[in-house]
Amino acid sequence: MNYTYRIYPNVVQQTELRSWLETCRGVYNYALRELKDWIASRKCSVDRCSLEKEYIIPADKPFPSHRQQNNLPKAKKQFPHLGKVHSQVLQTTIRRLHDTWEVFQKRGHGFPRFKKFGQFKSFVFPQFKHNPINGFTIKLPKIGEVPINLHRPIPNGFKVKQVRVLSRVRGTQWYVVVTIESDISVPDAPVRGRAIGIDLGLERFLTASDGSFQERPKFFKSMQRKLKLLQRRAARKQKGSQNWEKAQVEVARMHHRIANRRKDFHLKTAHQLCDQAQTIFAEDLNVTGLTRAMLRKDCVDAAFGQFLSLTEWVCSKRGVYFAKVNPNGTSQTCPNCLATVSKGLEVREHHCPECGYRTHRDRAAAEMVLDRGLENLVSQGLWGTETACQVGLSGVYDLDKSRGARIPNREVGKPAL
C-alpha cells in the first residue's frame, strides 16, 4: 500500500535532491548505452556485417543484466561524484532500467529510452532499518530530516518498506511515496450484494445501470484559456533566462493543478460507486485507441484509463468486487430482448423496435454491461444465492431507487406503449 505525502525541503536539500536526480539520470543512460551496444553487436549475421561501423563485443560477454550493479563500486573510483548519492539509490536506478526492459520483452513495444535533462523525476530508497517518519519530519539517508505534511498517519501494524522521492512542477514541489506493508493477508473481494454496470462516455462521464449518471467536468477545457495565456507569456521570454524559467514553472503548476482536480474527481466518483453497490462491472475499453481518434482531446481530458485503474484500486481497498467485460456492441444491443439495434453516435436514445424498450443510450449500454458481467460470473460459478435476488426479482427496483440516491442525477427508463 502506498501513501503520498508532500515534503518541504530547504534550499540546500532541494539542490542536493536535484543533483541526485541528475546523477541517477546519468547512471540510467550509461547502463542503457551498454545494453544497446550489446544488442547492436549481435544484430546481424556473421556474413552480413555492416560496411560502415560495427559494435565489436566479445561473444562470451554476457548480457548486461542486473550484474551492472556490481560495477558501481569501480565506477565510483573513476567518477567520485557517484559517491555522493546513496548506494542503494543507484542500485535501484539500474534495477528500474531492467524492469523496463523485461516489460518491453513481454509486450513487444516500449523500448527503454534515454532520459533528457529534467525527465528523470524520482529515485527510491529501497529499505529502512527503522521508521523514517518521526512526528512531522521524515529522515532520508544523506539528505537529513525533511518536514512532511503527514495528513494521515501510518496505520497500526504497518511498517515502512521503501520511500520514493518525487519531483513535480519542474523541481519546485516535492513528494514522497511511502510504501507500507503488514503481515496481514487480505483476501480477494467476494461477489456479493447489489450489482451494477457502468458505461463511460463524453456526453455523460458515467452512467449506471440503475439510471444514475454523472456529468463530465471539462478540466482541461475549462482552464485552457488561462493555460494558453501562460504559455504565450513563456514563449516571449528569452530561453534559459530566469524569467523564462519562472514562466515555465507557472505553466507546469497549471498542468499539475488540472491533473490534481481530475484525479480528485475520479477518486470521489469511485467512492460513490462503492457506496452504491458491492459488485461493479465496467467496460474493458481500448484507452490507447480512444486517445488516437477524432475526439482524442476530450478522451484524454476525461482520462478513462486512470478512472478505471483508480476504481479498481478503491474497490479492492473497500472490499467491492470489480470486473471488466467485453465492450463490443454494448450500445448496439437491447438489454431487454438482446436484439441488435444499430444506431450512430448522434442518436442519444435507445428505442428497440422488437420489444419497444426506450431509454437513454448510455443507460442501455450500462444495463448490457451488467448483463454480460452477470453472465461471466454465472459461467465461472461465482454468482451465488446471496446475490441471486438482484437479477430482476420483485422489490429490487425499490432497492435500486433508495441506494442510487447517492449520485444526484438520475433517470428512469420506460418501455414504449
Q: Is the residue at 63 inside a domain?
A: yes
Q: Is the residue at 209 inside a domain?
A: yes
Tabulate helix, strand, coil % of the chain (nearest 5): 45, 20, 40
User: Is there a single domain that holds both residue 204 and residue 108?
Assistant: no
User: Is there a single domain that holds both residue 205 and residue 127?
Assistant: no
Residue 159 CA neighbour count, 13 Å, CB half: 9
Q: Is the residue at 190 inside a domain?
A: no
| pLDDT tens sequence across 270-287 | 999 999 889 999 998 888
pLDDT bin (cut points 50, 70, 90) of residue 97 is very high
The angle, 0 to 180 degrees and rounded to 10, between the axes of the packed helices 11-40 and 87-107 is 40
pLDDT bin (cut points 50, 70, 90) of residue 289 is confident
d(CA 393, CA 387): 11
Q: Are 341 and 359 in contact (CB under 8 A)?
A: no
Mean pLDDT value of segment 79-104: 93
d(CA 393, CA 337): 17
Chosen domain end from 157, 181, 205: 181
d(CA 85, CA 178): 20
User: Is there a single domain that holds both residue 133 and residue 206?
Assistant: no
Strand ranges for 159-259 from DSSP E: 159-168, 173-181, 195-200, 204-208, 212-215
Percent of the chain with pLDDT over 90: 49
Q: Is the residue at 250 inside a domain?
A: no
User: Is there a single domain that holds both residue 138 and residue 96?
Assistant: yes
| pLDDT > 90? residue 62 | no
| pLDDT tens sequence across 8-55 | 999 999 999 999 999 999 999 999 999 988 888 777 665 666 666 666
User: Is there a single domain that holds both residue 25 and residue 161?
Assistant: yes
Q: Return the amino acid letter for 109.
A: H
pLDDT bin (cut points 50, 70, 90) of residue 390 is very low
| pLDDT > 70? residue 416 | no
Q: Is the residue at 244 inside a domain?
A: no
Give the position of cell 463524453: 202
User: Is there a single domain that holds both residue 209 and residue 116?
Assistant: no
Mean pLDDT value of segment 339-345: 82
User: Is there a single domain that holds both residue 59 and residue 200?
Assistant: no
DSSP summary character for residue 340: B
- State the cell numbers at 299: 478522451
- State the cell numbers at 23: 546523477
Chosen domain end from 181, 207, 231: 181
d(CA 340, CA 299): 27
| pLDDT tens sequence across 169-227 | 999 999 999 999 888 877 888 888 888 999 998 888 999 988 888 898 999 989 999 99
User: Is there a single domain that holds both residue 19 and residue 151?
Assistant: yes
| pLDDT > 80? residue 383 | no
DSSP string covering 374-389: HHHHHHHT---TTSGG
- State the cell numbers at 221: 477545457
User: Is there a single domain that holds both residue 200 and residue 86?
Assistant: no
d(CA 109, CA 340): 37
Which domain covers residue 143, as residue numbers?
A: 2-42+54-181
Chosen domain end from 133, 159, 181: 181
Q: Are 284 and 327 in contact (CB under 8 A)?
A: yes
Q: What angle do CA 362, 223, 200 make, to 5 degrees?
A: 15
The total of structural domains in the chain comes to 2
Q: Strand 195-200 vs strand 204-208: parallel, antiparallel, or unpaired?
A: antiparallel
User: Is there a single domain that holds both residue 6 and residue 116?
Assistant: yes
pTM exceeding 0.85: no
| pLDDT tens sequence across 245-266 | 999 999 999 999 999 999 999 9
Q: Is the residue at 240 inside a domain?
A: no
Q: Is the residue at 377 inside a domain?
A: yes
User: Is there a single domain that holds both residue 175 and residue 273?
Assistant: no
What is residue 397's predicted lDDT score, i.e. its pLDDT? 35
Q: Is the residue at 25 inside a domain?
A: yes
d(CA 400, CA 194): 9
Q: Are 350 and 330 in contact (CB under 8 A)?
A: no
User: Is there a single domain that holds both residue 110 and residue 208?
Assistant: no
Question: Which residues, 6 or more positions from 230, have their beta carbon under 8 angstroms from its beta carbon?
Answer: 247, 250, 251, 254
